[in-house]
Amino acid sequence: MGDTGSRAIYYYFQMRTGLKIEDAVERPEALVSFLRDMFKAGAQVLERKIIEKLCASFGINPGEVGGADLATLVKRVLFEK
């Protein structure tokens, strides 16, 4: 997406939700809702990409997460260590 696009999305996220992007970790539902509202059907592609990156970063086999959505996976990797 590029740096400029990412910054624009972060800014829009903050304006729409009142949260900083760093706060999305504690409120992953807000991030998912924002992505779905902003990107509509395209949000599924973004969510899958984010899930792939989370799995790679935390050493999780993507096959182990099954059909878990982004919010569920964020909670799993961050709060069930």
Task: Give per-residue pLDDT as tens, 34-64.
Answer: 999 999 999 999 999 999 998 899 888 888 8
Which residues neighbour 72 within 8 Å (Cβ) at sequence distance 6 or greater? none
Which residues neighbour 78 within 8 Å (Cβ) at sequence distance 6 or greater? 25
Mean pLDDT rounded to a whole number for the chain: 89
Identity of the amino acid at 63 = G
Q: Comparing 25 with 33, which gets the higher pLDDT?
A: 33
Picking from 40, 55, 50, the residue whose alpha carbon sits closest to that of residue 70 is 50
pLDDT at 38: 94
User: With bands split at pLDDT 50, 70 and 90, how would you rate the model's confidence at 32?
Assistant: very high
- Rounded-to-5 percentages of helix, strand, coil across the chain: 80, 0, 20
The CA distance from 11 to 64, in Å, is 33
Mean pLDDT confidence for 64-76? 86
Q: What's this model's pTM, rounded to 2 decimal places?
A: 0.81
